[in-house]
């Protein structure tokens, strides 16, 4: 049974710092891994999708990597800003099984 | 309207009521999803529809009844709910399902409170 873990559960960093969020999964047989952000009481915004054959994806200040063999993905945020404060979720997919982690709640201190 | 919309945004219902949640996607996608997000728990996938056919049902109680009349609309019919069903219900869509290249796009959610 696939399990997805995100560590840490919460993180506070000063504005301007680079930071890394972690996502691990127990079954490497996945189609893709997707990173989302969620603002309080809102829906999810897709950030990056990495297919199982890919190693990383980049969008602006965000870079996500995938190491399928070790069951790990990281989301790197460069030069963090207060607007980056949100909960970041990762999800892995195989067929129609989509499993989410509990998320990392990120707070960027001005 | 763009993206994925959900109505209502907030709903309070008694345990004996019947209500429906509506989702509409304006992206031309072929697959739609219902998720439940409870406090302190990960998002849980409830149902998956592909071209109006239900392809996944994750052991959801029968008091939740989905309906997909066409590829743009998805409903979740609710009846005889329990207080533990209070949660944020999220709808999502994707262009396809097979393989790994299809991103999911989410709506804003319906905050449901069962009293």
Mean pLDDT of residues grouped by 10 in chain A (110 residues)?
Answer: 95 97 96 96 94 96 97 98 97 93 96
Buried b (16+ CB within 10 A) or exposed e, A24-45: bbeeeebbbbbbbbbeeebbbe
Query: Does position B101 have pLDDT exceeding 90, yes or no?
Result: no
Quote the distance between the C-alpha of residue B110 and its chain's center. 9
Rounded Cα–Cα distance for residues A9 and B40 (Å): 11
Q: How many CB atoms neighbour CB A87 within 10 A?
A: 19
Adjacent-strand bridge partners of B34: B47, B91
Q: Does B75 touch chain A (CB under 8 A)?
A: no
Indicate the pLDDT class of residue B53, thresholds 50, 70 and 90: confident
Angle A41-A43-A48 from CA coordinates, rounded to 5°? 130
- Straight-line distance from the first to the last Cα atom of chain A, in angstroms, rounded to the nearest whole number: 41
Q: Please compute the mean of the pLDDT values over residues B19-40 and round it to a whole number.
A: 95
Quote the distance between the C-alpha of residue B49 and its chain's center. 10
Residue B97: predicted pLDDT: 85
Residue A55: predicted pLDDT: 96
Residue B59: predicted pLDDT: 86
Q: Give the mutation candidate from B10, B42, B86, B107 for the A interface (greatest A CB count, under 10 A).
A: B42
Q: Does A91 touch chain B (CB under 8 A)?
A: yes
Query: A19-25 and A4-7: which strand pairing?
Result: antiparallel
Share the mean pLDDT of chain B. Answer: 93
Per CB-CB distance under 8 Å, the chain B contacts of A91 are: 43, 104
Residue B94: predicted pLDDT: 95
Q: Does A43 touch chain B (CB under 8 A)?
A: yes
Question: B13-26 pLDDT, tens per residue?
Answer: 999 889 999 999 99
């Amino acid at each position: 049974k696939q399990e997805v873990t995100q560590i840490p559960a919460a993180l506070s960093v000063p504005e301007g710092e680079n930071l890394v969020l972690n996502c691990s999964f127990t079954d490497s047989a996945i189609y893709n891994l997707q990173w989302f952000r969620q603002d309080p009481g809102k829906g999810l915004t897709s950030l990056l999708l990495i297919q199982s054959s890919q190693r990383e994806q980049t969008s602006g200040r965000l870079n996500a990597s995938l190491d399928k063999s070790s069951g790990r993905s990281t989301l790197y945020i460069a030069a963090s800003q207060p607007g980056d404060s949100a909960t970041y979720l990762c999800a892995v997919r195989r067929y129609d099984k989509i499993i989410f982690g509990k998320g990392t709640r990120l707070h960027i201190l001005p | 309207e763009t993206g994925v919309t959900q109505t209502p945004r907030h709903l309070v219902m008694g345990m004996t009521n019947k209500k429906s949640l509506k989702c509409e996607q304006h992206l031309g996608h072929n697959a739609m999803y219902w998720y439940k997000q409870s406090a302190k728990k990960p998002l849980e996938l409830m149902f998956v529809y592909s071209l109006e056919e239900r392809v996944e049902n994750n052991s959801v109680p029968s008091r939740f009844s989905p309906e997909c009349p066409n590829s743009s609309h998805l409903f979740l019919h609710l009846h005889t709910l329990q207080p533990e069903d209070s949660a944020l219900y999220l709808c999502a869509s994707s262009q396809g399902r097979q393989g790994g290249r299809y991103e999911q796009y989410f709506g804003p959610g319906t905050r449901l409170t069962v009293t």
